[in-house]
Structure 1
Amino acid sequence: MQLEEHDNANGYLIAPDPDAVRLTRRVTGFDQTGAATDISVIEERPLTIFLNGQEIVTAMTIGDYPDYLALGFLRNQGMLSKEDVVTGVDYDEDLEAVVVRTETVTNHEEKLRKKTRTSGCAVGTVFGDMMEGLEGVQLPATPLRTSWLYALAAKINTTPSLYLEAGAIHGTVLCHQDRPLVYMEDVGRHNAVDKIAGWMMATGTGAEDKILYTTGRLTSEMVIKTAMMGIPALASRSGFTAWGVEIAQQVGLTLIGRMRGQRFVCLSGEDRLVRDADPDSVRDEPRKSARKGAKT
């Protein structure tokens, strides 16, 4: 896929559309003074995902890109392997359902029997199967330039988005070097990642030279999904969980968190960082004040 041939006006291949009428709703409320105020709130819709004739899950989602969400969810849960040939993805808006069809029978029934739910936002994940999928995974040692990180953060954080319009939503961005490519949002951070995975699967986009940027926490599930997608670097404005860091170190994922202004923390893959940018040349953000009684 020749990425440069598909640019839109803002440089993204896919970007958020804060003006899309189906994604937000205007609601009247009252502020702290009692005055009436209108705000935008995010819409939530159920989406039932089928694999061939089997119902797999019903996820709460904002409703955009249901085909990519379904493909990515099934791929990241290990219900679709790289060898499975997808022959069709059919979405019915009235039924709020999407059916992914394959050329031959998959192993999804076995996966369903082993299903274990976890506490991820909006939709649980088949965590045991995801851990199995990590067996033998070792990501490419792709260098990551700090100049790319600073450039990505500056552009992504100022891109018009549903988050800036209404909040209550997570964003995930697939990037190449200093260029953000595909920006997906959803009520659950895992949904946003699955949309990215589905887009990559549908377009045949390689992962070995990509970076994944997320607005959410760097949890074990986020790290696992990034690794299963074959992406060697994951970055976020948010913080880490200990298990997320441990898994990142295990599979060779470069893990960057607490990215704010000129500051960030790398807890995995320091040897792959190329520090080619002077932090003092980057506009910083104010530090949060320490909690009362906390050590500084």
Structure 2
Amino acid sequence: MKEFTISPDPKAKDLSETLSGVDHTGASVSLPVVVEKPLTLFLNTQEIVTMMTIGDYPDYLALGYLLNQNMLDQDDRVCGVDYDDDLGVVVVRTERETDFEDKLKKKTQTSGCAQGTVFGDVMEKFEDITLDPDAVLNTSWIYDLSRKINQQPSLYLETGAIHGCVLCEGSKPLVYMEDVGRHNAIDKIAGYMWRNGIPSKNKIFYTTGRLTSEMVIKTVQMQIPIVISRSGFTAWGVDLARQAGLTLIGRAKGKRFICFSGEGRLNYDTDPDAIPEERSKHQRKAAQ
């Protein structure tokens, strides 16, 4: 796959709107602001959840959510994904009959932005997954990915108030998704991978959001052995990563990063003193 097979389009219709206000001096300002709207997901005839999302790629979001909730199996046959923008509804139809009434009774609100929701036993497959022990992460890839992703036009640079997740291979960013919640962005990538038959082998996740338990669980369920974040960690996220053997890189900005799990995969092939400090979001936007 080429770099950025999918990447954000900050000018896309309906993803943001320009609002007027005043700044700290009382001067009038007009700025783009990200849009969020509800999307209700049905699996066959059963209503599963209503998500707050920016509304792009509803099919990938729906499929990825169901996969990461263990409501879809990798070998399931999907007959169709129907989306109605006016109603804010997406329906996933499978050949297999489904009934998750018991699972839906146990609901957990996650720590993610836009209030993600998980159902049932989110750990039901976690302990059965073995991540690739031979995966390697060159430190030069961390620096290359950070530079390429941070310079890519995005809603984050245009509006802020949004998170991004990027599927990568080596130093190459492949699929870049954004949403108001990082859990939505990672689900979109899961749906894209499943629908396009993209294997998890040799893949890396890059995210702008915190490395929480939910992000670790979803990464492990997708069998991706390495995750890199610009942000920090939660203690449970680190504990789960260590249990699963996931390489967990956080606070990756400029020459700096911290690895709290899976450090055996790291190959220090670059002198960090040769890496320049990262420019601010406003400096990166001005340089485009």
The aligned counterpart of 2:183 is: 190
Q: With structure 1 as the length reference, what TM-score do the two structures score?
A: 0.91
Asked if 2 retains the 8 angstrom alpha-carbon contact of 1:79 and 1:111, the reply is no
Letter in 1 for 2:140: S
The aligned counterpart of 2:138 is: 145
Change over 3 Å in CA distance of 1:107–1:250 after alignment to 2: farther
The aligned counterpart of 1:161 is: 154
User: Within 2, Cα distance between the matches of 1:132 and 1:261?
Assistant: 37
Alignment gaps of 5+ in structure 1: 287-296
User: Within 1, Cα distance between the matches of 2:261 and 2:131?
Assistant: 12
Letter in 2 for 1:284: E
Alignment gaps of 5+ in structure 2: 280-288
Letter in 1 for 2:204: I
Asked if 1 retains the 8 angstrom alpha-carbon contact of 2:41 and 2:49, the reply is yes
Change over 3 Å in CA distance of 1:135–1:107 after alignment to 2: farther
Shift in Å, 1:107: 4.6
Letter in 1 for 2:144: A
Letter in 1 for 2:185: A
1:78-123: per-residue Cα shift (whole Å, max 9, x none)?
A: 1112232211111111111111011111353332133333343224
Letter in 2 for 1:154: R
- Does the alignment pair 1:238 with 2:231? yes
Asked if 1 retains the 8 angstrom alpha-carbon contact of 2:34 and 2:161, the reply is yes
1:217-251: per-residue Cα shift (whole Å, max 9, x none)?
A: 01111111100111100001111111101100111
The aligned counterpart of 1:256 is: 249
Shift in Å, 1:127: 5.5
Shift in Å, 1:126: 1.9
Asked if 1 retains the 8 angstrom alpha-carbon contact of 2:74 and 2:194, the reply is no
Which residue of 45, 54, 58 corresponds with 1:66? 58
The aligned counterpart of 1:114 is: 106
**What is the SS of the residue equivalent to 1:147?**
helix
User: Within 2, Cα distance between the matches of 1:263 and 1:174?
Assistant: 21
The aligned counterpart of 1:95 is: 87
Shift in Å, 1:63: 0.5
User: Within 1, Cα distance between the matches of 2:29 and 2:106?
Assistant: 48
Residues 40-79 of structure 1 mapped to structure 2, 5 A cutoff = 40-79=32-71
Asked if 1 retains the 8 angstrom alpha-carbon contact of 2:46 and 2:99, the reply is no
Aligned residues: 279
**What is the SS of the residue equivalent to 1:135?**
helix
Shift in Å, 1:124: 2.8
Letter in 2 for 1:275: Y
Which residue of 11, 29, 36 corresponds with 1:19? 11
User: Within 1, Cα distance between the matches of 2:145 and 2:107?
Assistant: 37
The aligned counterpart of 1:221 is: 214
Asked if 1 retains the 8 angstrom alpha-carbon contact of 2:18 and 2:32, the reply is yes
Q: With structure 2 as the length reference, what TM-score do the two structures score?
A: 0.93
